[in-house]
């Protein structure tokens, strides 16, 4: 516990959660990413709202600001 290595968390690249929200339920995710390449810096904010239309169907809206 006295020593721990640095860790970095990130969203999955190609997959989403394995489950769905369920009928009438929703989830709000607030994603932020930052990248640097030499002197260029890019910032991205990508909120995502998921709403359960049925137990096995979600509608997802995800605007992105770059």
Residue 20, pLDDT > 70, answer: yes
pLDDT value for 14: 57
Where exactly are the structural domains of the chain? 26-61
Q: What is the mean pLDDT of residues 23-47?
A: 89
* Residue 45 near residue 12, CB atoms below 8 Å: no
Cα 35 to Cα 38: distance, rounded to the nearest angstrom = 10
Q: What is the mean pLDDT of residues 22-51?
A: 89
pLDDT-wise least confident of 3-17, 24-38, 46-60: 3-17
Q: What is the pTM of this model?
A: 0.61
């Amino acid at each position: 516990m006295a020593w721990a290595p640095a860790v970095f968390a990130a969203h999955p690249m190609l997959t989403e959660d394995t489950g769905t929200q369920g009928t009438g339920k929703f989830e709000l995710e607030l994603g932020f990413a930052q990248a640097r390449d030499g002197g260029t810096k890019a910032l991205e904010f990508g909120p995502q709202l998921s709403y359960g239309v049925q137990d096995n169907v979600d509608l997802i809206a995800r605007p992105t600001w770059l």
